[in-house]
Structure 1
Amino acid sequence: MSVAMGMLDAGMDAFIIGITGRTGGLLAQELLSRGDTVHGLVRREEQRADLAALGVDAVVGDLAEVSVDALAAAFGTVDAVVFGAGSNGGSAQDTKAIDGDGVAKAIEAARRAGVSRLALVSVLPESWRERDLGEEVEYYFAVKKEADIALSRSDLDWLILRPSLLVDDPGTGTVSLGPAEFHGQVARADVAATLAALLHEPRIGRQILELTTGSVPIRDAVEANVRRR
């Protein structure tokens, strides 16, 4: 077995920002099922206690208020940080604080903590283009794009995953994953499973990948996006 392939099944230590969200929670379960160690950021003490019962070590803090140094201390020596928080097109103030400034904090905190791998759950740029979205949602898309740019220009081992419309249907275990995909919909469970597989694939880094429903098994879809040199 090669060193690279050996790393695929090695346990990792991951920190999830947005762990109490639906996708973040599913990702935590997926990583735990692989034998990984999972940490997260929560806003309330009762959330921390609930996650502790599942084997997750959470830190209490508000992403909009926490300092970069405090976030870096929370990261500690983890192998990877996942940014899955989002305002979901709420008020412009929340969008800036979470989707914009929150990502900027995570990038700098990862750098200060010495954590090189940071995965960002973003959005497909084509999402809902057929609709009149209104100013706040348009602002949300603009801020998400700015965050993608900021991360892609960082010196981290970054990964940007852009899922299409998220739905709560059961996962199918098959997806369509690549640098460019059509906007459709995808089960949150499949997003979580794909992200977990991507985190365990050290040969994928500094890439933007789009994700939607498809017919390719997740492991094969991830393998197909390894850059060949």
Structure 2
Amino acid sequence: MTRVAIIGAHGKIAQQLMRVLYDRGDDFIGIVREDDHADDVYRFGGEGVTLDIEHAEPDAIARAYEDADAIVFSAGAGPGSGVARKRTVDFEGSVKAQRAAELAGIRRFVQVSAMGMDDPVADDADESWKAYVEAKRDADVELRASDLDWTIVRPGSLTLDDGTGLVEIAQRVSRGAIPREDVAKVIAAVLATPSTIHTQFELVSGSTPIDEAVAGVASAES
């Protein structure tokens, strides 16, 4: 049984992930900003921890990882948040979570990013979008430069549709959409596949079963 600490556990991907982990018999800690969100984690079958990563120091985050085997960073400032919070949550939150993993002696770190984060941003793009891309891109750069056993998962447009269990995964894929349920199942498969360490990939809905697709990326990257 694996014990997973999920940062940003109130988010829609994280909630799907908690369902998947529970069904697999894994244990999880859901790190959230508010007490009522922590109560939701307990209802999913995990342990809820209230902690605001935007303002917490790495040592406090490390304590929240108690006995975890792996970290999943799925936090984000979210739509409607200002430019400043894109930096303090999506980038600085990730960096602090990475430092906390090092302090806690936890090597496995899976980060939920987004498709196309390394692509140039148009000069006339919305400032909030620019800030989002810069924050996600820089967080990924920081993680790739770390000594952690990282994997970066970059889904396409996210939907609330039921998962199909079928995906397309590669370093780069054509623009497309994917249900959050399938993203969660991919994260769970990544956690169970050590050969995905030090891989970064994009994913959208496709025609390949998730476990096969994850294994294919791992072997292609090895």
- 5+ residue gaps, structure 1, are 1-10
**How many angstroms does 1:184 deviate by?**
1.0
Where do 1:1-229 residues align within 5 Å? 11-88=1-78, 90-125=81-116, 133-227=125-219
Q: Distance in 1 between matches of 2:40 and 2:186?
A: 25
TM-score normalized by the length of structure 1? 0.90
- Deviations, residues 103-137 of structure 1 (Å, cap 9, x unaligned): 1101100000000000000011168x799641111
Looking at structure 2, the residues matched to 49 and 162 of structure 1 have their Cα atoms a distance apart, in angstroms, of: 29
SS in 1 for 2:18: helix
Match of 1:120, SS state, is strand
Contact 1:77 1:114 in 2 (8 A): no
- Supply the distance in 2 between the matched residues of 1:114 and 1:161 (Cα, whole angstroms): 22
Distance 1:166 1:131, change over 3 A: farther
Distance 1:185 1:191 in 2: 10
> Which secondary structure state, in structure 2, belongs to the residue aligned with residue 192 of structure 1?
helix
AA at the equivalent of 2:11: G
Post-superposition Cα deviations, 1:56-100, rounded to whole Å, max 9, x if no partner, equal: 111111111111101001112211000001123531111011101
**Where does residue 4 of structure 1 map in the other structure?**
none
Q: TM-score, normalised by structure 2?
A: 0.93
Which ranges of 4 or more aligned residues in structure 1 deviate by more than 4 Å? Answer: 129-132
Structure 2 unaligned residues grouped into runs of 5+? none
Q: How many residues align?
A: 219
* SS of equivalent to 2:97: helix
**8 Å Cα contact 1:42-1:60 kept in structure 2:** yes
Cα distance, 1:142 vs structure 2: 1.2
